[in-house]
């Protein structure tokens, strides 16, 4: 009798836990669907060609986000140009050259810590170092330099993964044929790791697009088209923040948020595609 | 012979370049730490360590700089978010790794990734337009509140908690699971009594990383918190976090006021470093388990 009730209790608790996992997963998905649909439904109606291509001069009735798109693209461009080569070279050092020891442990510790530092601290640092000390002022360049340090851990880690997944056989084969280490890396290892490196690139672009706090304190918030990278510019995220915080226009805010969500969704889609190809390549080899 | 030497020199040069690039991370970390601390610590001593950390009033115009309301808000907001986010996230991770049919898991994983990719300011905007009015209507108060901060942060740490927990649950060797099932334990018992305890270091790491994300979040929090620098007495009270304190006043602050914002950064930095140490201890003990 008591054994039976024990078994019944067990069945009950099993069922309860099982439904709890379904329930929590449902919440996770429901939250995502709710946020996305709410933003897109409210925003998509305000997006049209002129919203995307006109400048932002509210006094003249112009409320386009063209300057913000340009600023965002400029920040992405400069950040990628600075951080990608450094990140790839770091990963090459860590995977292909380094021997386990204090130096590698220090580098690993540094990248992990950098990944954990909140963006507002990057903003503070960027402000005091790039904006004030190096006198770059509020500019695209200050923002991009700050973001470069911020995305560096992402680039390094993803590139490392890509390099590690290249089978040692390839390296040995190339070395056995008389190729030098550098030639092996540049002609054999790197080409195999290209999809992984591309994924790293897309991930970091996603972070740059979404970043607000660090950019706000370093690139400033002038809603004009920056004439050079030495000028201040307002990225899409900062624009959305300003619109929402100051309560300027919720219609524009919805529309800007929709543009951001669409950009991120596209980037995610491309990243999954590239990563998918990547696994095919490495298992095919 | 000459060509070969030149080649060798080039190889050496390139390996030096790789090393220098790898050292940039270390250099950046040092420069960031030194600059933020150098700019922030003097202010802490000018105000007085104790009155800065335990002062309950923040009035820059009057020269009163007490950080306790922000410290309280950051800790309460993060704890609340961890409580909600980790429970939902952990169960979702269990679902994804052990229970979900392949078809459902294949739809859910990209969804979780998308959740991770949504810019924080979009979460904040959603909170401002949806969450805040709901709280105002049903729980009273202004709506901008500690509760809104907790809920938004809980959602934002979900992807971190889910993906790292799922990875660590998957990493549990199949023999452990099979052994438990062979002894007559049910699938649920196996998951909760055997698999989860085996994956605990990974799950702890997920919690610590989630904590880091929650305590460091700025823009989303500013949009839903109300930003009043007072110690909250209820979930519906307006709050201001450490991060918000920096972002809100940095634009116009100068002199000692600006330095105290860097000092706020120093306090935040110390929190993050403590978390990092905890994380390293967890990962280190994990390595110990294996050996």
pLDDT tens digits, one per residue of A39-83: 999 999 999 998 999 999 888 888 889 999 999 999 999 999 999
ipTM exceeding cut-off 0.85 for this assembly:
yes
- Judging contacts by C-beta atoms under 8 Å, the chain B residues touching residue A124 are 36, 246, 250, 261-262, 265
Strand, helix or coil for residue A63: strand
Residue B239 has pLDDT above 70, yes or no: yes
pLDDT bracket for residue B4 (50, 70, 90) = confident
Residue B281 has pLDDT above 90, yes or no: no
B100 and B233 inside one domain? yes
Residue of chain A with shortest Cα separation from B19: A93
Q: State which residues form the domain around B40.
A: 2-52
Could B28 and A149 be called an inter-chain contact, meaning their C-beta atoms sit closer than 8 Å? Answer: yes
Residue among B255, B241, B290 at smallest CA distance from B81: B241
A residues 142-161 closer than 8 Å to B (CB):
149, 152-153, 156
pLDDT value, residue B251: 84
Residue A56 bridge partners (DSSP):
A63
- Asked, for residue B153, whether it belongs to a domain, the answer is yes
Q: Which residues are within 8 A (CB) of B117 and not within 5 positions of it... i.e. 6 or more apart? A: A206, A210, A264, A265, A267, A268
User: pLDDT higher for B25 or B3?
Assistant: B25
* CATH code (residue B161): 1.10.3720.10
What is the per-residue pLDDT across B97-123, written as a single tens digit (0 to 9) for each?
999 999 999 999 989 989 999 999 999
Could B189 and A14 be called an inter-chain contact, meaning their C-beta atoms sit closer than 8 Å? Answer: yes
Residues B21, A86 contacting (CB under 8 angstroms): yes
**In angstroms, rounded to a whole number, what is the distance separating the alpha carbons of residues A237 and A235?**
6
A residues 85-124 closer than 8 Å to B (CB):
85-87, 89-90, 92-94, 96-98, 106-107, 110-114, 116-124
B28 and B81 inside one domain? no
What is the per-residue pLDDT across A174-183, written as a single tens digit (0 to 9) for each?
999 988 889 9
Q: Cα dihedral sign for B152, B98, B208, A148?
A: negative
Residue among A61, A212, A229 at smallest CA distance from A221: A212
A-B contacts at Cβ under 8 angstroms:
244
B79 and B174 inside one domain? yes
Interface residue of A100, A107, A120, A268 to substitute, partner B, most B CBs within 10 Å: A120
- Asked, for residue B171, whether it belongs to a domain, the answer is yes
Work out the mean pLDDT of chain B and round it to a whole number.
Answer: 91
Residue B288 has pLDDT above 50, yes or no: no
Instruction: Find the CB nearest A237 among B14, B115, B119.
Output: B119
B246 and B285 inside one domain? yes
**In angstroms, rounded to a whole number, what is the distance separating the alpha carbons of residues B276 and B273?**
5
B79 and B118 inside one domain? yes
Q: Please state the three-class secondary structure of B203-237 as a single string.
A: HHHHHHHHHHHHHHCCHHHHHHHECCCCCCCCCCC
B46 and B176 inside one domain? no
Residues B241, B233 contacting (CB under 8 angstroms): no
Task: Give how many domains chain B has, as a whole number.
Answer: 2
pTM: 0.91
Residues A90, B18 contacting (CB under 8 angstroms): yes
Could A32 and B262 be called an inter-chain contact, meaning their C-beta atoms sit closer than 8 Å? Answer: no
pLDDT value, residue A273: 83
B9 and B81 inside one domain? no
pLDDT value, residue A2: 54
- Asked, for residue B72, whether it belongs to a domain, the answer is yes
Q: Please state the three-class secondary structure of A230-263 as a single string.
A: CCCCCCHHHHHHHHHHCCCCHHHHHHHHHHHHHH
């Amino acid at each position: 009798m008591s054994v039976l009730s024990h078994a019944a209790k067990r069945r009950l608790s099993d069922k309860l836990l099982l439904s709890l996992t379904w329930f929590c997963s449902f919440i996770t998905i429901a939250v995502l669907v709710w946020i996305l649909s709410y933003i897109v439904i409210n925003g998509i109606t305000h997006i049209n060609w002129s919203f995307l291509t006109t400048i932002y001069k509210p006094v003249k009735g112009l409320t386009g986000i063209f300057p913000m798109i340009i600023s965002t693209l400029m920040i992405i461009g400069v950040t990628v140009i600075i951080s990608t080569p450094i990140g790839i070279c770091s990963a090459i050092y860590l995977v292909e050259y380094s021997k386990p020891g204090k130096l590698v442990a220090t580098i690993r510790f540094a990248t992990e810590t950098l990944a954990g530092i909140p963006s507002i601290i990057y903003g503070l640092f960027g402000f005091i170092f790039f904006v004030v000390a190096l006198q770059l002022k509020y500019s695209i360049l200050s923002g991009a330099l700050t973001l470069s340090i911020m995305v560096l851990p992402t680039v390094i880690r993803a590139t490392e993964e890509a390099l590690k997944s290249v089978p040692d056989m390839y390296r040995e084969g190339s070395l056995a044929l008389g190729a030098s280490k550098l030639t092996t890396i540049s002609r054999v290892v790197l080409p195999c790791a290209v999809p992984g490196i591309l994924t790293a690139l897309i991930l970091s672009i996603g972070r740059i697009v979404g970043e607000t706090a660090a950019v706000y304190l370093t690139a400033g918030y002038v809603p004009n088209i920056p004439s050079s990278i030495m000028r201040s510019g307002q990225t899409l995220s900062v624009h959305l923040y300003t619109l929402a915080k100051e309560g300027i226009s919720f219609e524009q805010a919805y529309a800007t948020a929709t543009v951001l969500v669409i950009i991120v969704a596209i980037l995610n889609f491309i990243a999954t595609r590239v990563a998918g190809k990547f696994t095919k390549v490495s298992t095919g080899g | 012979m000459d060509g070969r030497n030149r080649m060798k020199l080039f190889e050496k040069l390139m390996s030096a370049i790789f090393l220098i690039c790898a050292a940039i991370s270390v250099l950046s970390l040092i420069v960031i730490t030194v600059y933020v601390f150098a700019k922030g610590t003097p202010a802490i001593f000018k105000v007085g360590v104790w009155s800065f950390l335990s002062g309950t009033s923040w009035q820059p115009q009057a020269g009163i700089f007490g950080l306790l309301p922000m410290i309280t808000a950051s800790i309460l907001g993060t704890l609340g978010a961890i409580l909600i986010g980790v429970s939902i996230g952990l169960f979702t991770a269990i679902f994804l790794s052990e229970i979900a049919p392949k078809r459902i898991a294949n739809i859910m994983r990209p969804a979780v990734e998308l959740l991770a990719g949504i810019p924080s300011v979009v979460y904040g905007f959603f909170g401002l337009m949806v969450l805040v009015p709901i709280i105002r209507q049903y729980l009273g108060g202004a709506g901008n509140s500690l509760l809104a901060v907790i809920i938004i942060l809980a959602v934002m740490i979900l992807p971190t908690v889910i993906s790292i927990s799922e990875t660590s649950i998957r990493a549990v060797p199949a023999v452990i699971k099979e052994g438990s099932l062979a002894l007559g334990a049910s699938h649920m018992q196996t998951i909760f009594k055997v698999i989860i305890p085996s994956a605990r270091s990974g799950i702890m790491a997920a919690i610590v990383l989630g904590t880091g994300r929650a305590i460091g979040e700025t823009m989303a929090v500013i949009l839903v918190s109300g930003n009043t620098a007072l110690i909250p007495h209820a979930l519906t009270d307006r709050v201001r976090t450490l991060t918000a304190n920096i972002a809100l006043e940095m634009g116009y602050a100068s002199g000692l006021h600006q330095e105290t914002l860097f000092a706020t950064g120093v306090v935040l930095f110390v929190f993050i470093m403590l978390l990092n140490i905890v994380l390293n201890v967890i990962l280190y003990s994990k390595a110990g388990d294996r050996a």
